[in-house]
Structure 1
Amino acid sequence: MHLIVMITAVVAAQWCFVGSAAGAVGGGEFYRGKVIRIVVGFSAGGGFDTFARTVARYMGKYVPGNPSIIVDNMPGAGSLIAANHIYRAAKPDGLTIGAFNGNQILGQLVGAQGINFDARKLEWIGAPGYNHDLCLLHQRTGIANAEQWLTAKAPLKLAGSAPGATTDDVAKILKEAIGLPMRLVTGYKGTADMRVAVESGEMDGLCGFSWVSVRATWRRAVESGQAIIMLQSAPKAHADLPKVPLTISFAKTPEARQLIEAGVHQPGAITYGYSLPPNTPKERVQILRKALLQAVKDPDLLNDANKANLEIAPASGEEIAQAIENMFKTPPAIVAKLKETLK
């Protein structure tokens, strides 16, 4: 009898040890001595890159085991290359975070070519900010406001990255919804390259440029009057931009309003979402969710963000996942119209 009790106790202790070891590997001890990569789908110097590098400096100290966090730029196809990489190639071990344009999820909704991921199967850990889309023109165009642009006889050249990028999709949607006179010239690696093109006279401006990015990378041009903000494509005006008209105010039909809401407003809420590959261990997902939300409250991060003119407005991983689920509930007729518009 005593022998059976002793054997049972030993087996129980062994199972407890195995369970504890597994928990340690899945959690904090797993990250000790490791390196986490944030794969940014755009070139260095743009808003996505600036956000990621700011987060990378502080997030590691909130992950048990204090791993190093580095940024790896993987530009191309409006960040679609990075999105597909996170879904198809990255190991689901909690060491690779995707920072691609959430607008690519709109591409999945409308069945765009090249989409090799399912956003609903990715693990979302949160976002450091949201996308408050703007349209800007260079002062050399001679156009001072949205009303003048909408009545322009010749289309203006807008810089874009690739189908699925905010710069491309927003411009196309606004052309369809409110008749914005524009000609899209796509192929730039990111907004850093687009800014150079606009400043050199190669392009007239761009749409789908987030106020977060403008604040961080192009504020001097705006404050000097070199770059003029024409429109803000968001549900409500930003506190910093009370006099800039809302794009949706120029929509003349219910369908036009729905196109802007489904194609611009909804994706804007998830643009800066950070994701992990499908099947990443749930414990590591929760660790990184918690670490990101702690990092974006860090006083030193907030100080750095303020110096870089970054606006920190975090969303949780759960909020991003729910927003994506809501996007896939868009009425079929609007999805069909968006597909036609974005082709």
Structure 2
Amino acid sequence: MKTFTKRVVLGMMAATMLTPAVALADDFSLEGKTVTWIVGFKEGGGTDRLTRLLQSKLSEHLPGNPDVIVLNKPGGGSVTAANDFQANAPADGTTLIMASTSTFLPVLLGASVAKYDPNEWEAVAGFARGATMFGIADQIGAKGNGSDARTDYEGMEKASIRFGLETPISAEMLDLVAMNLLGIDARVIFGLSSKDAEAAFQRGEMNMNTDNTRSYLKDFGDDPKVVPVWTYGVIDESGKLLRDPDLPDVPTFPEFYEAAKGDAPSGLGYTLQQNLMNAKVMISKAVMLPKGTPDNVQQIYIDALKAVVADPAVAEKLPREIGSMPVNFGEATQRAIELGTAMDPAVRDWANEFLQANYDASLD
């Protein structure tokens, strides 16, 4: 009897302790307030366009229907805005940031300019954007035409591949690591922005290039001379890597590697490749709340963003920004951020040895 009574009392105490949190979830309202959504880039770019598309419907799905404004704070590839967000954003549900690969990559690579830790922020939603490696089929030896990875690889091993990018310490480090793991000896020309590299590819000065899947399909989807050889896929909410939904017939990098080498990729280099893949693909864009935001407020925003992306007015336009990639939310986004911003010391050592040996560069 005493044991039963004790359990009842403890149950009542637990219920009493939970009541304020439940009440807070029920009572939370942004009525009469303004929600500021920070974008670390100028108006008109991809991050800004996606934010404004979502902003158009966010107020309707937040309690109290607050005004939602976009505040552009360009500088340092979004690092300036992220530093300010970490230091000053109030954790009361009135401030968001739209982070991007260029927000997360400096943290992954250990850049001293990044005075913030996205793992301390509260994840709301992540917008993956597919990425693919492609080339001029006859010049890179891709006789499998993107559908026979083993044949493509055998040709690429012997081909004279030319690939342009700005710096080895960038999002395109993903592609350099991928080619290194495969043993593809590409001649890499540095100092080219993504636009310059694309122009050089179109002129035939480069015969291999990388881009987001949507841009690849727009620019080369109908060109019989250009073939995608692998994509970086997309990770579902269970953590499984799936094919890019916009290029479902093209193998993912691990599929291409296994067809080429006979075994699945593994080791420190592959771990680095996966870190970079999460930073570039899975969290191409991510909606985040500041450190310390209450769990119930985070959940309110997760539910609101789910409703926004399902709204017909948004759903119709969203593929123009992210293709057919699924949106991830909450824990799935947080997992991608952790993988895309944290590098094990042994992996970092491998990265430095790789960069020093091949490009006379270093993360340090």
Instruction: Determine if the TM-score, normalized by the shorter chain, exceeds 0.5.
Output: yes
Name the CA distance, whole Å, in 2 between partners of 1:195 and 1:42.
22
Question: After superposition, what is the alpha-carbon deviation per residue over 1:163-193, rounded to whole angstroms, capped at 9, x for unaligned?
Answer: 4x53x332332243234515264585xx6x5
Partner of 1:81: 80
Give the % identical residues.
21
Question: After superposition, what is the alpha-carbon deviation per residue over 1:78-120, rounded to whole angstroms, capped at 9, x for unaligned?
Answer: 4433433322344444333222224754543453332211122
Structure 1 residues 1-343: aligned runs within 5 Å:
27-28=28-29, 30-41=30-41, 44-46=44-46, 48-102=47-101, 104-105=103-104, 107-127=106-126, 129-137=127-135, 142-143=139-140, 145=142, 147=153, 148-153=155-160, 155-158=162-165, 163=169, 165-166=170-171, 168-178=172-182, 179=184, 181-183=186-188, 185=190, 188=193, 193=195, 197=199, 201=203, 204=206, 206-207=209-210, 209-211=211-213, 214=214, 217=215, 219-225=217-223, 228-234=227-233, 235-248=241-254, 249-250=256-257, 254-255=266-267, 256-265=269-278, 268-306=281-319, 310-311=323-324, 313-325=326-338, 332-340=345-353, 341=355, 343=363
Name the CA distance, whole Å, in 1 between partners of 2:251 and 2:198.
26
Distance 1:318 1:308, change over 3 A: closer
- Higher mean C-alpha deviation, range 292-301 or range 227-236: 227-236
Could you say what the CA RMSD is over the residues aligned between the two structures, in angstroms?
4.1
Amino acid at match of 2:28: G
1:69 Cα deviation after fit: 3.2
Amino acid at match of 2:162: P
Question: After superposition, what is the alpha-carbon deviation per residue over 1:4-52, rounded to whole angstroms, capped at 9, x for unaligned?
Answer: xxxxxxxxxxxxxxx9xx969x832x35352432414477343x34432
> Does the 8 A contact of 1:36 with 1:67 survive in 2?
no
Q: If the length of structure 2 is used for normalisation, what is the TM-score?
A: 0.67
Distance 1:149 1:112, change over 3 A: farther
> Does the 8 A contact of 2:140 with 2:160 survive in 1?
no
**3-state SS, counterpart of residue 133 of structure 2:** strand
1:123 Cα deviation after fit: 1.5
- How many residue pairs get aligned? The number is 309
Give structure 1 stretches of 5+ with no counterpart: 1-18
Q: If the length of structure 1 is used for normalisation, what is the TM-score?
A: 0.70
**3-state SS, counterpart of residue 250 of structure 2:** coil
1:292 Cα deviation after fit: 0.9
Give structure 2 stretches of 5+ with no counterpart: 1-19, 143-151, 234-240, 356-361
Distance 1:39 1:63, change over 3 A: same
